[in-house]
Amino acid sequence: MARLNVNGVLREVDAEPDTPLLWVIREQIGLTGTKYGCGIAQCGACTVHVDGAAVRACSVPLSAIEPGQKIVTIEGLAPGADHPVQQAWAELDVPQCGFCQPGMIMASVALLAQTPRPSDAQIRAEITNICRCGTYNRVLAGIKLAAERGQSG
Amino acid sequence: MRVDRRTARHTLDQPTDRGLRPSRRAWLTGAGLFSLGFHIPFLAPARAAPAAAEPEVNAWVVVKPDDTVVIRIARSEMGQGTLTGLAQLVAEELDCDWARVTTEYPSPGRNLARKRVWGDYSTGGSRGIRESHEYVRKGGAAARAMLVAAAAKGWGVPAETCRTERGVITHVPSGRTTTYGAVAAVAATIEPPKDVVLKDPKDWILAGKPLKRLDTRPKLDGSQVYGIDLTLPGLLNAAIRDCPVTGGSVTSFDAAAVSGMPGVKRVLQIGDSAVVVVADTFWRAKTALDALPVVWDEGPNATVSSATIAETLRAGLDAQEAFIGNTSGDVAGALKGAAKVVEAVYGVPFQNHATMEPMNATAIWTAERCEVWAPTQNGEAALAATAEAAGLPATACEVHKIHLGGGFGRRGATHDWLRQAVLIAKEMPGTPVKLIWTREEDMTHGRYHPVTQCRMRAALDKDGQLTGLHMRISGQSILASVAPQRMVEGRDPVTFQGLNPGGPEAAIGYTIPNILIDHAMRNPHILPGFWRGVNLNPNALYLECFMDELAHAAGQDPLAFRLKLMGHHPKHRAVLQAVADKIGWDQKPPEGVSRGLCQTMGFGSYVAGAAEVSVSESGALKIHRIVAATDPGHAVNPQQIEAQVEGSFVYGLSAALYGACTVKDGRIEQTNFDSYPVMRMEAMPAVETILIPSGGFWGGVGEPTIAVAAPAVLNAVFAATGKRVRHLPLKDTDLRRA
Ligand code: FES
Ligand code: FES
C-alpha cells in the first residue's frame, strides 16, 4: 500500500508501483478531473501539481512519488473553484469541450506561481498543452487576465 | 457517487442528464443490483407523463415550481456551443429568465417512445442549430402561450390582456402578476396552440447576443463527467486491440499468458478482428493487453502503402469515367482555344480526428435489456447501433448521452467503438463494462479524413481572363463507406462540397463560362469518415490555391482576379471583400510579411480568410495574423461563433501544417501526438473575426471556416517564398529560399 497526499488528504492506494500517477488518481482515488489524453507526456491533459510544480501525471510512476510530497489535482486547486485562473476562465468562456481544460488550468496556475506577470512569449513557450478545440487564444487571454488580477488583488 | 458531488452547487449552470441521474440512483439503491437496478432506468424513460413536481409544459420546456426552466436539447454538446445556442433560441420565444435556465438531454429511448418528438439528434455537418432553429423556437413560443393561457384561466381574464417578461406573467389592466413556475402545472394540461408566430430576429433579446455558455463551470473544476470518467457500481474496465490492418482478423491469442496478471477478469475476442482484456481498472486491462500475445491474419490489405494509394489516385486523375458534380459550357473547347493553359496537381493525406477524449463507451447487457452511456454526436444512431450489437429491439435499449470531449465528426456517423462496448458487455451479462481506447488505438483505428488528389486545368484568354476550368478530383468517397444509401446513382454528392453550381448549402462562388468538376472515385481500404469540415477542406484548398496560381499566371492581383468572377455571387464576394479590407489588402504589408486570401461556402455559410505570414531564411513559417469573415445568415451567439472561428484555424492549420496519417504495410503509421503533431499555443496566430449576419438564412459555423485556413496561409506562403505547396502537410515542403 502506498500513501499519497492528494488535495490535503492522505490516501492509501493499492496499485502496482509502476502504475502511472494519472491512473492512480483516476481509478484508485476516484478523482476524474485529471484527464487521459495521450499517456506519453505529449498533451498535458493529465497535469497535476506535485509540490506546486506542474507534472504530467501519465508519465510519473506511483513509485516516483516520495513520502510527504503534496499532490494537488484540479478538484483541490481552490475551495469553491474560485482560483483567479478559474475565475478568468469563467469570465472569458475559455472552455469548448473542456476536456483539456483541467490540464490547461493546472499548467497555467503553475506558470503564474513561478512567473506572476508572464509575457505572451513566455506563455506561448510554457503552455504546451494540446487543445483540439482550439481555445489557445482564450487560454492566453485568461492567463493574462488572471495575472492582472493576481497583481492588483 | 463521485459524479454527483457538485450538482448541488451547479443546479442552475450545469446541464444535467435526467436519463443518467435517476438511472444511477437506481443502480445505487438497488439491493440486487442487476435484477432491480437494471430495470428501473428503462421504466423511467418510458413513462408518458413527467412527475407532477416538474411539469413538462411541452417536449422542449419543463418549468419547476421554483421557476427553474429546463430546456431540452436533442443535439449533442461537444464544445461547439450548440447547447447554449439552442437554449437561447427556446428561451427567446419562451420569454423566461435566462439566469434560471438549465438544460437536459432527453434520452434517445424516450425520443423513440414518444414518436421522435425531439426530432433529429444528429450533430454533424454544422447542423445543430441551423436545422432545428424553427421547431425549437416554436416549442418555446408554444410553451409561452400555454403558460399565459394558464395564468389567464386562473384569473378569468382573456389571454390577450396578459404579457410576459422574464418568466413573469402580468395581467396588464389589473397589474396582477404570477410566475411561470406557479402556473406550469396547469399549463401542462392546456391544449397546445395550433400555430405560433415567431419573433422577428430584430426583436431578439437573448438570441443573437454574446451570452456566456451554460456549460462552463463544471469544466473548470473537474466535475464535468465525460464518458471516460463514468463510473457505476461493479463497473469493470476494458482495453481493446483491433487488428492493425483493416480487413484483417485474429488468428489466435494466448489468454493464459495474461489472465493471472493483477486485476484481470476476462480475456476475450469480439468479432473477427479484436482482442479485449477486461480488468478491475483500465490501467490493469491495458497493461495485460500490452502483454497479450496475438497472432493476426492481416488479410488482403497488408501490402498497401501511401505510395500504392497515391498511385491509384493518380490513375484516377486521367480516368475516362468520372461522376460529374458541376458542368456547363465546353471546357475541352476552352482549353483548346486558350492563350495559356495552367495546370497543377494537388493532394491531401488522411487525417485523424484526434478528439482530446479518446473513444469510449460504457454498456451493460442482459438477455432482456441493454443500456449504454456514450459521448455520441447522434443519440438516435447510437441507439440503433446499441440495438443491433445487443441483438435486441431498440425499445429494449437505452442510450444515455454524455457531453463529448471533442467530436469533430468521429462520434456520429459510425459507432464502431460503441458497438465494441456492447459486444464486450454481452460477454459478461449483467456487468457494466467501460471500454476505453488508448490514444494509440484511437490514432490507428480512426475514420479518416478522406484522401484525394486533384488536377486543376484552366484556360486563360489573351487578357488573362479565366475562360475554362476542369477540376478532376480523384479519391475516396465518404458516403460509399459510411452511408451508401445516400449515394445518388453511384455518385457521392458530398464530394463536391463547395463546388456545386448553386443551392443554399455549398455553392461555388465564381462564374466561369466553361466548367467541369468531376470525381473519379477510388476507395482505398483505410476507412473514411466525416472529419470536421469534410470535403469542403480539400475542395477549398484546391480551388482557392489554384485561383492564386491563375492570378499569378495572368499577372493580376489575386483579389482583383477573383472579384471579376464573383459578380453573380454577392455573399461570397462580401466576405472576401471584408477580409481584404480588414487585413489592408490595398496597402503594403509590414516589412518581411506576406499576405494571402481565399473564400468558400459550405454548411450554408459564406466564409473567407486572410493571413499574414513570414518565412525565415531557414524556411521557418510564422503566421502572424489571421482575419476571418463569416456570413451565417443569422448569428445566434456571436462570441461563440468567434470561438468556433478561432478553433477552426487550430483544427485546419494542424492538418495543413503538420498532420498526416500515412500507410505502411496496410496500417496507419502514426500512433500518438508525437508522430501526429497538432498545433499548440506557440504556433497560434491572432485571429480577428468579422461577423456579417446578412439575415434571411441559417448557416452553420462549426465547420466552414476550417476550409479557408489552409489556402489563406498557403497563398501567403507563396507570396513570401514563390513556392506552391500543393501537397499537405506543409512540413514536408522545404520553404528555404532557393
Ligand atoms: S495524458 Fe499525460 S500528457 Fe497526455
Ligand atoms: S476545450 Fe476541447 S480540447 Fe480543449
**pLDDT tens digit sequence for B645-669:** 999 999 999 999 999 999 999 999 9
Interface of B with A in 208-237 (CB under 8 A): 212-213, 215-226, 228-229, 231, 237
Out of A32, A34, A140, the one facing B681 most closely (by C-beta) is: A140
Please list every residue in chain A whose beta carbon sits closer than 8 Å to the beta carbon of residue B687: 137
Can you give the pLDDT at residue B46? 35
Please list every residue in chain B whose beta carbon sits closer than 8 Å to the beta carbon of residue A73: 222
Can you give the pLDDT at residue B370? 98
Q: What's the length of chain B?
A: 738
DSSP B683: G
Q: Are strands B69-72 and B101-104 parallel, antiparallel or unpaired?
A: parallel
Is A100 touching ligand 2 by the criterion CB < 6 Å? yes
DSSP B34: I
Instruction: Measure B627 CA to nearest chain A CA, in Å.
Output: 14
> Minimal CA–CA distance to B597: which of B448, B478, B501, B715?
B715
Residues 6 or more apart whose Cβ sits within 8 Å of residue B24: B3, B4, B232
d(CA A22, CA B228): 13
Selected for mutation to probe chain B from A38, A58, A59 (highest B CB count within 10 Å) is A38
Can you give the pLDDT at residue A1? 79
Q: How many angstroms separate the Cα of B440 from the Cα of each of B108, B227, B240, B258, B673?
A: 31, 18, 11, 20, 9
Question: E strands along B230-339, which residues?
Answer: 236-242, 249-253, 264-270, 274-279, 294-297, 323-328
Can you give the pLDDT at residue B738? 64
Mean pLDDT of chain B: 92
Residues A57 and A98 in one domain: no
Interface of A with B in 52-71 (CB under 8 A): none
Judge contact between B464 and B556, C-beta under 8 A.
yes
Interface of A with B in 88-127 (CB under 8 A): 89-90, 93-102, 105, 123-125, 127
**Domain count along chain A:** 2
Compute how many other C-beta atoms are within 10 angstroms of the C-beta atom of residue B667.
Answer: 21
C-alpha cell at B598: 481565399
Please list every residue in chain B whose beta carbon sits closer than 8 Å to the beta carbon of residue A74: 221-222
Nearest 5°: phi and psi at B441? -65, -40
Can you name the CATH fold of B227-299+359-436?
A: Aldehyde Oxidoreductase; domain 4 (3.30.365)
Domain range for A104 is 79-152
Instruction: Measure A68 CA to nearest chain B CA, in Å.
Output: 24
B439 C-alpha to center of ligand 1: Å?
10
Residues A108 and A130 in one domain: yes
d(CA B41, CA B712): 51
Judge contact between A44 and A103, C-beta under 8 A.
yes
Can you give the pLDDT at residue A88? 98
d(CA B230, CA B212): 27
Can you give the pLDDT at residue B53? 56
- Series of mean pLDDT values for 10-residue runs along chain B (738 residues): 28 33 34 32 37 79 97 95 96 97 96 95 90 93 98 98 98 98 97 95 96 97 98 97 98 98 98 98 98 98 98 98 97 98 98 98 98 98 98 98 97 97 98 98 98 98 98 98 94 97 96 98 98 98 98 98 98 98 97 98 98 96 98 97 98 96 98 98 97 96 97 98 97 86
**Residue-range domain boundaries for chain B:** 56-218, 227-299+359-436, 306-351+448-732
Judge contact between B382 and B359, C-beta under 8 A.
no
Tell me which of 3.30.365.10, 3.90.1300.10, 3.30.910.20, 3.90.1720.10 is the CATH number of domain B56-218: 3.30.365.10
Name the band, by pLDDT with cuts 50, 70 and 90, for residue A150.
Answer: confident
Compute how many other C-beta atoms are within 10 angstroms of the C-beta atom of residue B175.
Answer: 7
Can you give the pLDDT at residue B54? 73
DSSP B36: I
Residues A31 and A43 in one domain: yes
Q: Which CATH class is domain B306-351+448-732?
A: alpha beta
What are the tens digits of pLDDT across the range B562-612? 999 999 999 999 999 999 999 999 999 999 999 999 999 999 999 999 999
Look-up of cell digits 483548346: B336
A vs B: CB pairs below 8 A = 180
B359 C-alpha to center of ligand 1: Å?
16
B533 C-alpha to center of ligand 1: Å?
27
Q: Is B8 exposed, middle or buried (0-12, 13-18, 19+ CB in 10 A)?
A: exposed
What are the tens digits of pLDDT across the range A52-106? 999 999 999 999 999 999 999 999 999 999 999 999 999 999 999 999 999 999 9
Instruction: Measure A74 CA to nearest chain B CA, in Å.
Output: 6
A27 C-alpha to center of ligand 1: Å?
16
Closest approach atom of ligand 2 to CA A100: 4
Name the band, by pLDDT with cuts 50, 70 and 90, for residue A152.
Answer: low
Residues A8 and A47 in one domain: yes
Please list every residue in chain A whose beta carbon sits closer than 8 Å to the beta carbon of residue B216: 89-90, 93-95, 98
Which CATH number is A67's domain given? 3.10.20.30
Can you give the pLDDT at residue B29? 31
**In this complex, is the C-beta atom of B146 within 8 Å of any C-beta atom belonging to chain A?**
no
Is A46 touching ligand 1 by the criterion CB < 6 Å? yes
Can you give the pLDDT at residue B464? 97
Which CATH number is A130's domain given? 1.10.150.120
Compute how many other C-beta atoms are within 10 angstroms of the C-beta atom of residue B16.
Answer: 17
Number of alpha carbons in the 13 Å side-chain half-sphere of residue B121: 29
Compute how many other C-beta atoms are within 10 angstroms of the C-beta atom of residue A121.
Answer: 9
A66 C-alpha to center of ligand 1: Å?
21
> Minimal CA–CA distance to A35: which of A43, A45, A44, A25?
A45
Can you give the pLDDT at residue B50? 43
Can you give the pLDDT at residue A151? 64
Selected for mutation to probe chain A from B235, B352, B356, B449 (highest A CB count within 10 Å) is B356
d(CA B704, CA B600): 8
Residues A69 and A83 in one domain: no
C-alpha cell at B244: 492493425
